[in-house]
Structures are given as structure tokens and as C-alpha cells.
């Protein structure tokens, strides 16, 4: 994999401030966002690179590692650990054959990517493969029930189960489906971020759903029964007499599935909006006048 200069990707200098990074990222993300560049593979690749660069440079600790170790920044902890071990070997060894030389240790990064360390005690160093990140776009109705879906990541098809109740922005880890490990090390992991579009009449907040239902004036005054939509069908609801505009009622268990809790659901909250009748006939106006006099 070719080395990617994250500073160059964002078009900033190495002494850029956090504010500079944020501004550059927002400007480029808007420019290359998939919604503004549909079916544009170049823009899609650029958008992924921009996000990757921002994830590293906007995180102070990761940026420090990147500035020091460049393309090998993810292995900085292993490098430091090996460096410390090398110092211990040098201090405890007896004679020139007892430990690593400076020349041996300079080959360390080479061993990270398939080489072998020099010296009489040289050995391969195992490293975990690179983690992959992917975004899966779904509709709200798609995550109302658990289902299986096939994803294509790096030309490989991966069959996964998407649990009901996942939320927008939620990230799940698929272990071992990242890059191949180095020198027999474990494979990296695949991190999937869910981007969930809600084009339903319901507003979702966690496991609960919210909706507004129109109620005619007569039903609000006299009470009665109405049919209301839930996410998976209709239910009959009793309206109390003299119901006021803005009244809220709760339908227990008619909300959204709770993540990885089979058979458990949040609640549905209904808010009544009372509609005043229009285009009244002369007789209707007369009757309303009569009613007003009774009050």
C-alpha cells in the first residue's frame, strides 16, 4: 500500500492548528461528499482519504505518532516496546554476541513488513493487519428487524447479520476481516459505521418513536375511537372526551426494537393535533353560535 501524506490530502502544513485541520476537513468533505457526487468513483475515493486523514490528524495522540513514525504510526507502540527490550538486552548481554547491535535494530521496521531482523537472535516480529473502515447506508425500516446482508470489502464478499435496533452512527466490529496480518500475525478487523436514513412519519430517539396524529374537533370534544399507524401496522386507540390540543399518549411496546434484546421494544408516543373545521355551512355556523351562547 502506497504511503499517503495526510497533510497533503487536507492541503495543510505540518504545523497546522486543530482549527486549521477542522476547517480544511469540512471544506473538502462538503466538496467530495457522495451525496453531491453520485456515482463518481474518484470523488468517493477522495472522500474516504479525507476522512482517514482527519481521523488521524484531528486526534492529538495519533497525530503525534504519525508525525514521528510516518506510515508506520500504527505500530509505534510495538516499536517502542521492541526498542526498550533491545536496551535491556544490551545492558544484560555478555560480549558482542549477547544481544542486538544498533545495525540489527535499524532493521526493525523492515521486519514489521515481512523482513527478518539481523543478528544471532534475529526473529520475525508478528503484527496485526490493518483495520478497515466501511459505511453501510440503510433505511430505518431496514433495521426494524434483524436480517443478513452481503458486503463487498476489498473485493471480498462478507455475509453479516445486522441486528434489529442499530442506530445511526453506530459502529460494529467484524473481527478478522481487515488486512492480512504480518509475519503470521492476526488479521485486522473491519469496522462498519451505519448511516441510517429516516423517511418515515416517525421520529426516532433511541428505542422510542414519536408521531403526530390529526384529530378532528368533534372527536376531541366527544371522544371515541380512531385508528393510528405504528411502525409495523395499525392499532385502535380510544380518545378521551374533551381531549386538548397537544395531548400526548403513550403506546407501550410499540416503539423501536431494543438493540440485541430479542422481543423488547421501546414505546410510541402520540401527540394530538386538533384540526378546526373549515368551510362551515350556514347551519353549522348557527349551531356553533348556539354552543357559544351556552358557554
Going along the chain from its start, the domains and CATH numbers come out as: 6-93+100-112 (1.10.287.110), 132-197 (2.60.260.20), 203-279 (2.60.260.20)
pLDDT (0 to 100) of residue 235: 95
- Higher pLDDT, residue 21 or 79: 21
Residue 84 reports pLDDT greater than 90: no
Contact 175, 128 (CB under 8 A): no
Residue 41, all three cell numbers: 468513483
Contact 108, 82 (CB under 8 A): yes
- CA atoms 108, 112, 115, 120: torsion sign: positive
pLDDT bucket at 118, cuts 50 / 70 / 90: very low
pLDDT (0 to 100) of residue 25: 92
pLDDT tens figures, 191-236: 999 999 999 999 999 999 999 999 999 999 999 999 999 999 999 9
List helix spans (H) across 164-281.
Answer: 217-222
pLDDT bucket at 91, cuts 50 / 70 / 90: low
| Least confident stretch, 1-10, 14-23, 87-96, 209-218 | 87-96
Nearest CA to 129 among 191, 179, 56? 179
Enumerate residues 6+ apart whose C-beta is below 8 A from 150. Answer: 157, 158, 159, 160
The pLDDT of 101-112, averaged and rounded, is 47
The pLDDT of 22-45, averaged and rounded, is 88
pLDDT tens figures, 174-198: 999 888 888 888 998 999 999 999 9
pTM: 0.57
Express the helix, strand and coil content of the chain in percent, nearest 5 each: 35, 25, 40
Question: What is residue 213's three-state secondary structure?
Answer: strand
pLDDT (0 to 100) of residue 86: 56
Q: What percentage of the chain exceeds 70 in pLDDT?
A: 83
Buried b / exposed e across 205-219, counting CB within 10 Å, b at 16+? Answer: eebbbbbebebeeeb
pLDDT (0 to 100) of residue 291: 86
pLDDT (0 to 100) of residue 130: 85
| Least confident stretch, 62-66, 116-120, 135-139 | 116-120
In the predicted model, what is the mean pLDDT of the chain? 84
Q: What is the DSSP string of 180-192?
A: PPBTTPPP--EEE
Residue 132, all three cell numbers: 478497515
The pLDDT of 140-163, averaged and rounded, is 90
The H-or-E segment that residue 67 falls in is helix 60-69
Amino acid at each position: 500500500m502506497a504511503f499517503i501524506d495526510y497533510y497533503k490530502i487536507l492541503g495543510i502544513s505540518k504545523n497546522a492548528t486543530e482549527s486549521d485541520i477542522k476547517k480544511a476537513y469540512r471544506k473538502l468533505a462538503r466538496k467530495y461528499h457522495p451525496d453531491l457526487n453520485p456515482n463518481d468513483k474518484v470523488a468517493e475515493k477522495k472522500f474516504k482519504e479525507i476522512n482517514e486523514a482527519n481521523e488521524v490528524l484531528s486526534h492529538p495522540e495519533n497525530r503525534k505518532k504519525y508525525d514521528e513514525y510516518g506510515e508506520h504510526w500504527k505500530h509505534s507502540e510495538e516499536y517502542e516496546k521492541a526498542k526498550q527490550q533491545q536496551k535491556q538486552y544490551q545492558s544484560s548481554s555478555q560480549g558482542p554476541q549477547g544481544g542486538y547491535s544498533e545495525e540489527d535494530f535499524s532493521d526493525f521496521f523492515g521486519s514489521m513488513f515481512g523482513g527478518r531482523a539481523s543478528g544471532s537472535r534475529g526473529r520475525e516480529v508478528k503484527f496485526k493487519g490493518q483495520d478497515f473502515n466501511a459505511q453501510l447506508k440503510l433505511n430505518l425500516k431496514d433495521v426494524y428487524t434483524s436480517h443478513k446482508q452481503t458486503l463487498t470489502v476489498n473485493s471480498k464478499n462478507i455475509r453479516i447479520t445486522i441486528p434489529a435496533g442499530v442506530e445511526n452512527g453506530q459502529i460494529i466490529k467484524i473481527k478478522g476481516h481487515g488486512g492480512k496480518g504480518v509475519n503470521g500475525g492476526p488479521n485486522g478487523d473491519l469496522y462498519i459505521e451505519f448511516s441510517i436514513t429516516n423517511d418515515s412519519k416517525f421520529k426516532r430517539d433511541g428505542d422510542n418513536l414519536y408521531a403526530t396524529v390529526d384529530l378532528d374537533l368533534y372527536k376531541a370534544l366527544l371522544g371515541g375511537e380512531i385508528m393510528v399507524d405504528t411502525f409495523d401496522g395499525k392499532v385502535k386507540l380510544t380518545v378521551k372526551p374533551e381531549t386538548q390540543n397537544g395531548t400526548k399518549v403513550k403506546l407501550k411496546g410499540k416503539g423501536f426494537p431494543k438493540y440485541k434484546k430479542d422481543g423488547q421494544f421501546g414505546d410510541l408516543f402520540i401527540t394530538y393535533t386538533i384540526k378546526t373545521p373549515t368551510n362551515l355551512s350556514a347551519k353549522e355556523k348557527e349551531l356553533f353560535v348556539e354552543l357559544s351562547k351556552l358557554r
